[in-house]
Amino acid sequence: YNLTVLISGNGSNLQALIDACASSSLQNARITHVISNRKAAYGLERAAKASIPTTYHNLVSYKKKHPQTEEGTTAARIAYDADLAKLILALSPRPDVIVCAGWMHILTPDFLNPIASEGIPVINLHPALPGEFAGAGAIEKAWEAGKEGKIKRTGVMIHEVIAEVDAGDAIVTEEVPLKEGESLDDLEEKIHKVEHGLIVEGTRQTLAKIKK
Ligand code: GRF
């Protein structure tokens, strides 16, 4: 099976997938392409070290081609998402699954529809439980809520990507208990460890549903 992985930053979850493909946990899968929306994403280095082809898909160049107005920005984002789909559908081999691993760009129907019409599942890692803390900064929001005694646990999920942010059906989730007085860094470290296991498990379960 072929995976295309979308990243924006450190790429620790990409690294978990790279390591899993090299071991038994994802033995029948390989990452054939990594795409980042940020030039400085360390994940691009991780991919290069693993001899995985990479693409930097740059929103700035799209914004430059459109007027700096609201309509122009919307048109730039539509073109960006449509071209991201074209780029992926033109890959050879084509991916069986697209994995968003620390990907910080909201994917619109201009990306999702062409991909869905080719039957390619898109899955995303989100460091919160279904229905909780959607969007950026989820770990910090959970930590704050824990400090206020509102919740005793948060968690991580791998879910199917739909147009609504972090709202697709969960594929796999794992709870993470909140500890009294722990720092945000401590919680982030705990969460990232869970992410690294869940991204592999969520990808494995998605592949298992694909009959090839
Ligand atoms: C994860 O919590 C991810 O959800 C967020 O950044 C964190 C680490 O991502 N976007 P990465 O895989 O280390 O880039």
Q: pLDDT (tens digit, 9 = 90+) per residue, 157-174? A: 999 999 999 999 999 999
pLDDT tens digits for range 70-79: 999 999 999 9
pLDDT band, residue 27 (cuts 50/70/90): confident
At residue 99, φ and ψ (nearest 5 deg) are: -115, 120
Average pLDDT value for residue range 141-156? 97
**Mean pLDDT of all residues in the chain?**
96
Share of residues in the chain with pLDDT > 90 (%): 96
The 3-class secondary structure across the chain, one letter per residue, is CEEEEEECCCCHHHHHHHHHHCCCCCCCCEEEEEEECCCCCHHHHHHHHCCCCEEECCHHHHHHCCCCCHHHHHHHHHHHHHHHHHHHHCCCCCCCEEEECCCCCCCCHHHHHHHHHCCCCEEEEECCCCCCCCCCCHHHHHHHHHHCCCCCEEEEEEEECCCCCCCCCEEEEEEEECCCCCCHHHHHHHHHHHHHHHHHHHHHHHHHCCCC
Q: Whose CA is nearest to atom 13 of ligand 1?
A: 12
- For ligand 1, the distance from its centroid to the CA atom of residue 196, given in whole angstroms, is 10
CA distance 13 to 199: 7
Out of 125, 132, 174, give the residue to mutate to test ligand 1, the one with the largest number of ligand atoms within 8 Å of its CB.
125
Q: Give the global pTM.
A: 0.95
The pLDDT value recorded for residue 56 is 98
149: left (phi over 0), alpha (psi -120 to 50) or beta: left
Choice among 33, 57, 105, 126 that is catalytic: 126
Q: Is 126 a catalytic residue?
A: yes
Confidence of residue 24 (pLDDT cuts 50, 70, 90): confident
Rounded CA-CA distance 182/191 in Å is 13
Q: Which atom of ligand 1 is closest in space to residue 8's alpha carbon?
A: 14
Q: pLDDT-based confidence at 37, cuts 50/70/90? A: very high
d(CA 29, CA 210): 12
**Which atom of ligand 1 approaches the CA of 7 most closely?**
14
Cβ proximity of 39 and 11 under 8 Å: no
Residue 20 in contact with residue 56, Cβ under 8 Å?
A: no
* DSSP bridge pairs for 156: 174
Cα(7) to ligand 1 centroid in Å equals 8
Pocket of ligand 1 (CB under 6 A): 7, 9-14, 43, 101-102, 104, 125, 127, 195
Q: What was the ipTM of the complex prediction?
A: 0.90
Distance, CA of 115 to chain centre: 15
pLDDT at 12: 98
Please state, for a pLDDT cut of 70, what percent of the chain lies above it.
Answer: 100
What is the arithmetic mean of pLDDT over 50-60?
97
Among protein residues, the one whose CA lies closest to atom 3 of ligand 1: 102
Query: What confidence score (pLDDT) does residue 211 get?
Result: 74
pLDDT band at 208; cut points 50, 70, 90:
very high
| pLDDT (average), residues 100-121 | 97
Q: What is the mean pLDDT of residues 8-30?
A: 95
Closest CA to 47 of 66, 60, 36, 34: 34
